Amino acid sequence: MEIEEYRRMAAVEDAMWYYRALHQHLERELTAGLGEGGRRWRRGTPSTGKTPAPPPRAENPPGQADRAMWQILDAGCGTGGLIRRLEPVHPEWRWTGVDVEPLACELARGRVARSEIVEASVTALPFGDASFDAVVSADVLYHLDDDALALREYARVLRPGGRIVINVPAHRWLWSYHDVAVHGRRRYVRKELRARLEAAGLQVNRLTHWNLLPLPLVIVRRKMLPAPRSGSDVRLYPQPVEAIFNGLMAVERGGLRTLRSFPVGTSILAVATKAD
């Protein structure tokens, strides 16, 4: 992405409706995979290099002495908004963020409390095999020339039984000025994303569109109106507008709890696991 897009993201992602909704979806899927009913891994800091390190017990944050520390990789963490939001809510989750852009890493380090931020490419992760209990990657594959290589890397650093949660932009017919401004490479269809995940050796557990209710507005904005001077749609809207979008997202979350999957929407959320 352009450097200015990272600065814009850091300025708005705590409050902008889209990032709030995205982070809530990611949190829900991570919690489902790392909850009380799931496997309790007790591991230390991810190893560097290409071979797994011995698994020492992680040090828990103050007040969390009896809780397991889950190792989670935010692959393509950008300016750290997801980690910043979830660190205080889930102190038993130990985050490592990776991004290839130096400015993004610098901004992320200034925004997170205790998580490690590593400057590296998601197509060549500097961690040993089976280092993480979960991998999350939000709107990252979309920017890559070789998204299949990134997925293989995600699978490599994931422990057996671990969970991958991925978000990507949907529908090729929605390609617009926004995708050009943020240096997107492709928008996805579900069949294509499923095939890529399975080719990486992952079992797909869930694949759904979301951001359905705002879709008509997105079509009008991106297909019928002039492009904004900033180039992208990353911006904070007036509070009443943000409140409306937040309300729509709350309705959607309720719908997804009942229906499990939407047939259309501006994004695709995928959840997959690595075989034991």
Beta bridge partners of 270: 166, 207
Give the count of domains, the chain.
Answer: 1
State pLDDT tens for residues 177-204.
Answer: 888 888 989 999 999 999 999 999 999 9
Q: What is the CATH number of the domain that holds 146?
A: 3.40.50.150
Per-residue confidence band for 37, with pLDDT thresholds at 50, 70 and 90: very low
> How many angstroms separate the CA atoms of 66 and 64, rounded?
6
Specify the amino acid at residue 170: A
**Which of 29-43, 68-82, 123-137 shows the highest mean pLDDT?**
123-137
Domain containing 158 equals 3-274
| 276 vs 81: which has the higher pLDDT | 81
Beta bridge partners of 224: none
**Which of 29-33, 40-44, 64-68, 140-144 shows the highest mean pLDDT?**
140-144
